[in-house]
Structure 1
Amino acid sequence: MTLDDNQNGSLYPALADLSTEIICAYVSNNSVAASALPALIADVHAALVRLAGGDAEPVVEPQKSAVPVKKSVTPDFIICLEDGLKFKSLKRHLRTKYDLTPEEYRSKWGLPADYPMVAPNYAAARSELAKQMGLGQQRAKAAAAAAPAKKAPAKRRAAAAS
């Protein structure tokens, strides 16, 4: 089989036979759902056409999210669009499992820049805890304490006894 055979159309029946043999061998040793067979056949055939030098481009289907984007943010959880798991904070999961930054994740799924990486209730609880601990108030306290420490210089009395 050469590329010239492809011009005459005789390559495609041979590729179909080869695809059939590969699929039969694969299915005999692996369990495959009946609904997955058409996609498997198409993928194997497309790969063989590419290897034979054909111009067939692999069909790239856009990845579907595990849940709809609108339902991915709940008060108590952020649901990962990659795998559908619930998290209070998504950033670490994305980094460890998918090696994605929050910016890459947002661009991959077409999310706005203000899409949260932390569940709203969790963020509010952390914020309240930080306020109770006085975090973020150190500069304000230091500035308030330093201001009264400086006294204005006393006005000089006019010389009344001349």
Structure 2
Amino acid sequence: MSSRRRRSLERVTLSDVARSAGCSLMSASRALSQPERVSDALRERVMAAVKALGYVPHTAARSLASARSNLVAVIIPSLSNAVFVDTVEAVQRVLMPAGYELMIGVSHYRPEEDERLLRAYLAHQPAGLLVTGFQRSDAAREVLGSYTSPIV
């Protein structure tokens, strides 16, 4: 495979954005995460490079670097019950403007699925967890007991 073809399959990195904007990696990062801390001219160059290159931030890398996540895990038992759908919509209306994204899982009222979703979602180190109901397996309660971020 040619190097051009291989490169076209790779994702655009923040280093690519910085190089295109003519600034350091740290300046490009700051322009995106703390735009008030850079000049208007630099912010405009970085944003133009982001648009031209089609850069999409790698949230997993950002979470690793900052030791923070913008994910909130939500586990509900059903999508056919309007109460749960309304709850998810209300949670999203509050969290989205604050910069959080939802991971939504449906347990179908099955304790083993509830436990599987908890383990899978907590592996992503979410900033918080919203669960419904009180009936959980002992293993799921143990998983929740070791979780240190907020749980609702």
Q: Please give the range of the TM-score, normalised by the shorter of the 2 chains.
A: under 0.3
Greater Rg, structure 1 or structure 2? 1
Q: Give the TM-score normalised by structure 2.
A: 0.27
TM-score, structure 1 normalization: 0.25
Q: Compare relative contact order (CA 8 Å, sep 6+) and give the higher one, 1 or 2.
A: 2
Q: Which has the higher strand share?
A: 2
